[in-house]
């Protein structure tokens, strides 16, 4: 241990004796032999509650950076009886005797460390601090020397604390157990999320090929006018639009950071559902048309939309009902399934709508996205105190709402629950490049060996694996996935282009060449 090494350096004559005396005489040594400092690691804590012998809801809290070590499991621990100190904020000498009890104190306006010292001086076996809000903050201090604190100190939210105070004020007996289970850095659920992301980017890139058999039917009348003319719906990005897009995304991210609230997230939910309904509608319609050409013959007049097919209208109603059901049940344990289905359909639709004309535009877009991701995850704490990207991804803690623009999969073996998440941008940005390589390979009549798409798909899968590896090496700290995905996709494309002497053609490639090649292939 680091502390043991320090102790050994203090004595060159009797190192063993000094070490023994140091730990015996030191009042700040905990049960496992570690010292308490202000910079100890703060951990998440589970608090099992019993009221009058009946087990209630388990609360969650956060240990102080000067707290004594909290066990990782509740096995073998004895229950601690909870009492209210006097004064309740624990900011001055306590008139009540707390010997063997855990004190439940209000936040008040004094220093956290002072509360712990006063509670310990009164004989408390532990201290639970009730915050003034639903947020649970890290209780820290600034002293540099070892502290005389040997009791656990934990903060809980206002709602949970108020319920305990109410039970105690009514004369009930409240008991608790504190333990801090450790989460696995990489949960098996992450493997399923990896598979889902890779399958989505491959499927979205090959979507036109998957639904190819339905492209020749020109009599189909979509409910959405934008779907009637496939050429008109394609947005071809330029270098300028790529830069403007990333700047706009950064601006919106900052607005989310400063004005994060339940109503703001509700706006995102509405826009997400609108886009996802249209994306899901177009995906289902395209699949049905590719398998059943005669399914779009019967038409019906719809007010405001004009004439459309019964099949298209039926699919739209189903998609709307699906989205409404997800919104209604979005906080249920199974809601991630609906969110992922809607999100995947939206991603597929966007990758059919937006296209990159060549590698030059792809390089500008992905390099900007590369810097965007790194800045808002790793560098933004220097300017905003928190990592802006991670804070926004966590959503609004007071309402429990979270942004819907992510794919989620439950963490299967995490005692804290939660989800492994991947933002849409981590699929869309590389997906634009993979979609371009599909069109390029098709126009040049390339096989999978001498083409680009398969190798970039493998690069994307590897880049996502590197992301999870970095997540493990950095102890679960949120990672900018594009930091690994951009080099593994764009870098692979550029290296292959150089090796095949095709980089100049890829750099200056025109989408018109691709269209003419495809038209000539269809006429032949």
CB burial string 45-54: b at 16+ within 10 A, e below: bbbbbbbeee
DSSP E strand boundaries for 390-453: 406-410, 419-423
- Give dist(CA 321, CA 133) in Å, integer: 36
Residues 6+ apart with CB under 8 A from 250: 372, 376
- Give dist(CA 194, CA 465) in Å, integer: 8
- Give dist(CA 148, CA 25) in Å, integer: 12
What is the DSSP annotation of 242-301? HHHHHHHHHHHHHHHHHS--HHHHHHHHHHHHHHHHHHHHHHHHHHHHHH-GGGG--EEE
Residues 6+ apart with CB under 8 A from 338: 322, 325, 326, 329, 330
CA distances from 305 to 222, 224, 225, 280 (A): 10, 8, 8, 18
CB under 8 Å, gap of 24 or more: what pairs does 485-489 form? 485/426, 485/429, 485/430, 485/460, 486/366, 486/367, 486/369, 486/370, 486/429, 486/430, 487/463, 488/459, 488/460, 488/462, 488/463, 489/366, 489/430, 489/433, 489/434, 489/456, 489/459, 489/460, 489/463
Residues tagged active-site: 373, 426
- Give dist(CA 388, CA 254) in Å, integer: 7
Count CA within 13 A, CB hemisphere, residue 152: 27
Question: Tokens standing for 374?
Answer: 């790194």
Count Cβ atoms below 10 Å from residue 397 Cβ, excluding itself: 15
3-state secondary structure of 479: coil
């Amino acid at each position: 241990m680091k502390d043991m090494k320090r102790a050994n350096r203090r004595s060159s004559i009797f190192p063993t004796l000094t070490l023994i005396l140091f730990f015996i005489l030191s009042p700040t040594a905990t049960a496992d032999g570690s010292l308490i400092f202000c910079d100890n690691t703060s951990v998440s804590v589970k608090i099992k509650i019993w009221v009058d012998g009946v087990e209630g809801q388990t609360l969650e809290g956060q240990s102080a950076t000067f707290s004594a070590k909290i066990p990782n499991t509740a096995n073998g621990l004895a229950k601690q009886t909870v009492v209210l100190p006097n004064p309740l904020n624990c900011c001055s000498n306590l008139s009540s005797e707390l010997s063997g009890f855990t004190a439940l104190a209000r936040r008040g306006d004094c220093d956290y460390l002072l509360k712990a010292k006063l509670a310990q001086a009164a004989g408390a076996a532990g201290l639970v601090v009730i915050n003034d809000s639903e947020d649970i903050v890290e209780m820290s201090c600034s002293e540099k020397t070892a502290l005389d604190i040997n009791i656990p100190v934990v903060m809980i939210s206002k709602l949970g604390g108020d319920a305990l105070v109410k039970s105690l004020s009514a004369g009930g007996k409240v008991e608790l157990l504190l333990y801090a289970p450790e989460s696995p850095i990489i949960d098996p659920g992450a493997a399923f999320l990896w598979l889902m992301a890779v399958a989505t980017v491959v499927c979205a890139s090959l979507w036109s090929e998957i639904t190819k058999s339905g492209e020749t039917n020109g009599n189909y009348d979509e409910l959405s006018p934008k779907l009637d003319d496939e050429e008109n719906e394609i947005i071809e990005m330029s270098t300028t639009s790529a830069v403007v897009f990333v700047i706009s995304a950064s601006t919106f991210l900052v607005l989310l950071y400063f004005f994060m609230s339940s109503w703001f997230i509700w706006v995102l939910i509405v826009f997400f559902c609108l886009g996802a309904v249209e994306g899901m509608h177009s995906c289902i319609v395209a699949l049905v048309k590719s398998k059943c050409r005669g399914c779009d013959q019967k038409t019906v007049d719809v007010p405001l939309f004009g004439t459309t097919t019964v099949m298209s209208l039926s699919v739209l109603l189903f998609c709307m009902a699906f989205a409404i059901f997800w919104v209604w049940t979005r906080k249920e344990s199974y809601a991630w399934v609906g969110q992922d289905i809607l999100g995947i359909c939206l991603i597929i639709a966007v990758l059919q709508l937006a296209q990159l004309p060549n590698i030059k535009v792809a390089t500008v877009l992905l390099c900007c996205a590369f810097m965007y991701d790194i800045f808002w995850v790793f560098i933004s704490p220097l300017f905003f105190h928190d990592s802006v990207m991670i804070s926004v991804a966590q959503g609004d803690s007071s309402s429990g709402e979270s942004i819907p623009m992510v794919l989620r999969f439950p963490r299967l073996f995490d005692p804290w629950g939660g989800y492994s998440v991947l933002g849409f941008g981590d699929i869309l940005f590389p997906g634009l490049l993979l979609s371009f390589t599909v069109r390029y390979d098709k126009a040049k009549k390339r096989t999978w060996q001498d083409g680009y798409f398969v190798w970039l798909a493998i690069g994307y899968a590897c880049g996502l694996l590197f992301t999870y590896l970095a997540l493990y090496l950095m102890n679960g700290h949120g990672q900018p996935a594009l930091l690994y995905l951009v080099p593994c996709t764009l870098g692979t494309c550029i290296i292959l282009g150089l090796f095949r002497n095709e980089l100049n053609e890829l750099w200056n490639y025109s989408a018109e060449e691709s269209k003419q090649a495809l038209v000539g292939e269809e006429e032949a």
